[in-house]
Amino acid sequence: MKETVTAALYAPSADFVRRAHVKGLDEWRVLFERAQNDPEGFWGELADKELYWFEKWSKVLDWSNPPFAKWFAGAKTNISYNCLDRHLDGPRKNKAAIIWEGEPGDQRILTYQDLHRFVCRFANVLKSRGFKAGDRAVIYMPMIPEAAIAMLACARLGIVHSVVFAGFSSEALKARIQDLEAGLVITADGGWRRGKEVKLKLTADEALAECPTVRDVIVYRRTGSEIPMMDGRDYWWHELDDTVGDHCPAEALDSEHPLYVLYTSGTTGKPKGILHTTGGYLLQCTMTMKWVFDIREEDAYWCSADIGWVTGHSYIVYGPLSIGATSVMYEGAPDTPRFDRWWRIIEKYRINVFYTSPTAIRALIRQGDHWPNEHDLSSLRLLGSVGEPINPAAWEWYHRVIGKGRCPIVDTWWQTETGSIMIAPMPGAVPLKPGSGTLPLPGIAADIVDMRGQPVAADREGFLVIRQPWPSMLRTIWGDPGRFKEQYWTRYPGVYFTGDAARRDADGYFWILGRVDDVMNVSGHRLSTMEIESALVRHPKVAEAAVVGKPHEITGQAVCCFVTLKKGDHDIDSLAQELRQWVAHEIGGFARPEEIRFTDTLPKTRSGKIMRRLLREIVTSHSVTGDVTTLEDLGVITKLAAQQEEE
């Protein structure tokens, strides 16, 4: 990583700096030092200035019972109020809150006033069906405004929502509904993706057959296709909407009231339900919209993520609406009907700030520069990246071909667990280095440590940790506080363990190197090796499975499975297909393995643990150089490596 020292610096233009929220490194330093010297004073002042509170707090941070933090304890607020009501008595009343485009080309523009009315009406629907603060609702919807409306209506009443990405299978949906003991599922007949209907209601029905806690299913009509409705359980959104009024006050909720649970892959087969709460979460989402995306009142801002991932929660819905921005939302695939769909959207809505993932960038690079070049992208002022490290080549392309060399790129490091952005440049202040998230934001005590928790020297690799609580931190794992403690807070007591490796260069810039645990990152989506392994061994013909991430040009990593079979005659080729399909069915299409390799045995330690490290080496470097002293049978490795050579 010599490159980290000599890397070119990209400083913002004078014009960009002049109009930025944070202008130049000196202003950055003032904020950073203020936050460092008095974190509670710093966050308290911002909370006071930037958010609406029904009642103020007694203490900014209660860290008396680590790792269970309370931010703004005792204060009363409401996220839906902050995202909607407070914008209605000024010039934002008739400003576009959401500009939406469906994949078939349909379009809707919802002003703040419209969105407020829709949210109030749907909250009244939820109330009329008997749902109240503390209940859990699972949202399984396409990328349509009603997904955001459902989230905001739940938040208005204190109903804990859990959005399940529409690409998840019925099995994954079922596991989440069951873990939450949800009483309500909000879904749609279907959504559009690559010209085909994603049949959400049918998939939900499969899951619901084994979810006795669900009392009501509310179905939004999006595609208009025929779907079964179960009497006494299923209700059409539009029919319930006919029965309610426009007026629905936002509940004054405790700052620590649970807002949502979002499931993410961990190192075991069971996904973790990450819990976020109200006041602190909203504060950091709000501040990062200003600090990192540098949003101006007149901007059109577009985050291309799906609402089913944390990026969609914080940077399509809560962050942008809290600051009164215009958030653009697109339903479908980037290649439908052609590879220029995204550039068309940028041109059409004159997008100023665009936030996407390295995977998407790499996939679009491959289609050729003529697609973006056919469009006027001159409205763009700032570009963002999230989900995985962005390789310098993709960075340069994004900067040159999309940003025309004019637009800073904010490379934002954060996690489902952190709730909002933690390490990223403030674009009017911090010069960029391609591939680096640059510096931690004010109030974020990021550090890089060795096995014993000691800070490592410049340019040395170590574990990325966060030493102090931050407002949008996760509060627990739903139903499993023990796992919450164990996963994040025991390796270094009192310090948050991110699971990422990183290094810091001589300028203090952070370079994220990837996960140190058994979590893969495929297209910026987190997948656990264990989750896929457990899915594989549920198949009747599979004896054992080991899954590793294999470097992939476009998706960053691809899922590679080593499988041993039970005795019997097997048609290997068709079985490989069948297993790929099986995993897609058990987890979701995005988890479909790229590769299934059959083998007689897996490399194991003497105590019987599968040595995934060796398999990783085989798929990465095509040979094994690491320590094999605990390996039980060296023959296995030579065989597997030889098999690789043949390919």
Residues that bind ligand 7RM (CB under 6 A): 264, 310-311, 386-389, 411-416, 437, 498-500, 512, 514-515, 521, 524, 526
Nearer Cβ to ligand 7RM (256/500): 500
For residue 70, the minimal CB distance to ligand 7RM (Å) is: 23
CA 83 and chain centroid, separation: 20
Q: Phi/psi at 592 (nearest 5 deg)?
A: -55, 125
Nearer Cβ to ligand 7RM (192/413): 413
Nearer Cβ to ligand 7RM (82/412): 412
Nearer Cβ to ligand 7RM (169/265): 265
CA dist list (Å): 331 to 141, 169, 313, 365, 399: 11, 19, 15, 21, 25
- Residue 604, beta-bridge partner list: 610
For residue 23, the minimal CB distance to ligand 7RM (Å) is: 24
Q: Measuring CA to CA, which residue among 424, 417, 413 is closest to residue 387?
A: 413
Q: Where are the alpha helices (DSSP H) in 538-571?
A: none
Q: Tokens for 399?
A: 């900067």
For residue 637, the minimal CB distance to ligand 7RM (Å) is: 28
For residue 552, the minimal CB distance to ligand 7RM (Å) is: 15
For residue 525, the minimal CB distance to ligand 7RM (Å) is: 7
Q: Tokens for 426?
A: 């403030």
CA 518 and chain centroid, separation: 18
Q: What is the DSSP letter of 567?
A: S
For residue 239, the tally of other CB atoms under 10 A from its CB is 12
For residue 416, the minimal CB distance to ligand 7RM (Å) is: 3
Q: In b/e form, how buried is each residue of 434-446, taking b as 16+ CB within 10 angstroms?
A: bbbbbbbbbbbbb
Nearer Cβ to ligand 7RM (67/387): 387
For residue 237, the minimal CB distance to ligand 7RM (Å) is: 29
Element (H, E) at 499: strand 496-504
Nearer Cβ to ligand 7RM (101/306): 306
Residue type, 199: K
Cis ω for the linkage preceding 67 (within 30 of 0): yes
Nearer Cβ to ligand 7RM (115/310): 310
Q: In b/e form, how buried is each residue of 24-45, taking b as 16+ CB within 10 angstroms?
A: bbebbeebbeebeeebeebbbe
Beta carbons of 100 and 109 less than 8 angstroms apart = yes
For residue 118, the minimal CB distance to ligand 7RM (Å) is: 27
CA–CA distance, 84 with 115 (Å, rounded to integer): 8
Nearer Cβ to ligand 7RM (159/386): 386
For residue 285, the minimal CB distance to ligand 7RM (Å) is: 12
The alpha carbon dihedral of 295, 303, 44, 150 has a sign of positive
Residue type, 611: M
Q: Tokens for 46?
A: 């911002």
Beta carbons of 233 and 216 less than 8 angstroms apart = yes
Nearer Cβ to ligand 7RM (504/526): 526
Residues in the chain: 647
Nearer Cβ to ligand 7RM (100/463): 463
For residue 464, the minimal CB distance to ligand 7RM (Å) is: 8
For residue 504, the minimal CB distance to ligand 7RM (Å) is: 14
Q: Tokens for 179?
A: 């873990």
Nearer Cβ to ligand 7RM (388/533): 388
Q: Do the bridges between strand 136-140 and strand 184-188 make them parallel or antiparallel, or are there none, so unpaired?
A: parallel
